Amino acid sequence: MGMDALLNDAIAAARLARGIHLYFQEKGFSTDTKTGPTDLVTQADKETEAALKDFLLSRYPDHAFLGEEGGQEREAEYRWIVDPIDGTVNFAHHFPFYAVSIALEVRGELELGVVLDSSRDELFWARRGAGAYLNGRAIRVTKTSELIGSLLATGFPYDVKKDRENLTYFERVLQKGLTVRRPGAAALDLCYVAAGRLDGFWEVKLKPWDVAGALVVLREAGATVTGIEGEPYQLGNRYIVATNGLIHDELLDTLHGRG
Ligand code: IPD
Ligand code: CA
Ligand code: CA
């Protein structure tokens, strides 16, 4: 199966999702909670995921589909990994920083990643071995070589009281006087590292659908992506640290409280 056709369909699916996001932003939507009062799911999350599943599986009925809201029904060599809205809390509050994320994994290897920022209409995409792009222009990580001059970002799980590690990491970064943001949409945060808008990002407990699309973009843009011990990142890892490579060891040392 041609990767170009698959990529074009992934981009078309992302544009379909954006249309649904903008429709609900305009018309209004209902909101429910999931694991707790701040873990939200909106009508737009559910309808976007249903539309993406329908769009992709009607074209590729043999493929598997993993979505945040509906999970995965079956195994297959080709698997779409979808977050219908990354940044749902932002979306629910009309804070314009959220995206759809779509990745294609083939026999366990991520081949395509597409992340579309609905508010800015910024399309990040990458195909393994073919570079990373933002609205058609090649992107690359920064050349910042020291943490002190870097712009960093992170995020927190919804059950932060239970999973407190990132409070410790966050404090260590702040104590060093470093500059850090918490934008609220991990897929976009990671693409911002790829595009040279952030020098580094870390988070704890992200799920495959938060990361998969951006991971292809990061790799193709020259980023270093590891777990907390510096081991190569794999989908499902508890920790992710993504940087331009040059500040990676210094950021790992800081998170661990070394030096
Ligand atoms: C969340 C966002 C957020 C991150 C959370 C994720 P969702 O995804 O990416 O930035 O801090 O850990 O769960 O729920 O908006 O799809
Ligand atoms: Ca997400
Ligand atoms: Ca989501």
Query: Atom 12 (ligand 1): residue with closest C-alpha?
Result: 157
Q: What's the pLDDT at 37?
A: 87
Residue 155 alpha carbon, nearest atom of ligand 1: 11
User: Tens of pLDDT along 194-233?
Assistant: 999 999 999 999 999 999 999 999 999 999 999 999 999 9
**155 CB less than 6 Å from ligand 1?**
yes
Q: What's the pLDDT at 163?
A: 84
Confidence band, pLDDT 50/70/90 cuts, at residue 158: confident
Round the average pLDDT of the chain to a whole number and report it. 97
Q: What is the mean pLDDT of residues 136-156?
A: 97
Residue 86 CA to ligand 3 center (angstroms) comes to 4
Q: Cα–Cα distance between 225 and 240 in angstroms, integer? A: 7
Q: What's the pLDDT at 30?
A: 95
Q: What's the pLDDT at 259?
A: 73
Q: What's the pLDDT at 35?
A: 87
- Measure Cα distances from 154 to 26, 132, 249 in Å: 29, 22, 17
Q: Say if residue 90's pLDDT is above 80.
A: yes
Q: What's the pLDDT at 1?
A: 67
Beta pairing partners, 82: 67, 102
**40 CB less than 6 Å from ligand 1?**
no
Residue with tokens 């043999």: 62
- Measure Cα distances from 46 to 70, 155, 210, 252 in Å: 8, 23, 16, 36
Confidence band, pLDDT 50/70/90 cuts, at residue 159: confident
What is the DSSP-derived secondary structure letter of residue 232? B
Query: Atom 16 (ligand 1): residue with closest C-alpha?
Result: 86
Domain architecture of the chain: domains with CATH: 3-138 (3.30.540.10), 147-256 (3.40.190.80)
Strands (E), 34-171: 40-42, 64-67, 71-72, 78-86, 99-106, 109-117, 122-127, 132-134, 137-138, 151-154
**191 CB less than 6 Å from ligand 1?**
no
**45 CB less than 6 Å from ligand 1?**
no
In sequence order, the 6+-apart residues with CB closer than 8 A to the CB of 194 are 124, 126, 132, 139, 140, 141, 214, 217, 218, 220, 221, 223
For the chain, the first-to-last Cα distance in angstroms comes to: 50
Name the residue type at position 93: H
**139 CB less than 6 Å from ligand 1?**
no
Confidence band, pLDDT 50/70/90 cuts, at residue 236: very high
Residue 54 CA to ligand 1 center (angstroms) comes to 24
User: Tens of pLDDT along 184-193?
Assistant: 999 999 999 9
- Mutate which of 38, 49, 158, 210 for ligand 1 pocket (most atoms within 8 A of beta carbon): 210
Q: Cα–Cα distance between 181 and 189 in angstroms, integer? A: 10
Q: What's the pLDDT at 204?
A: 97
Query: Does the reported pTM lie above 0.95?
Result: yes
Confidence band, pLDDT 50/70/90 cuts, at residue 36: confident
Q: Say if residue 155's pLDDT is above 70.
A: yes
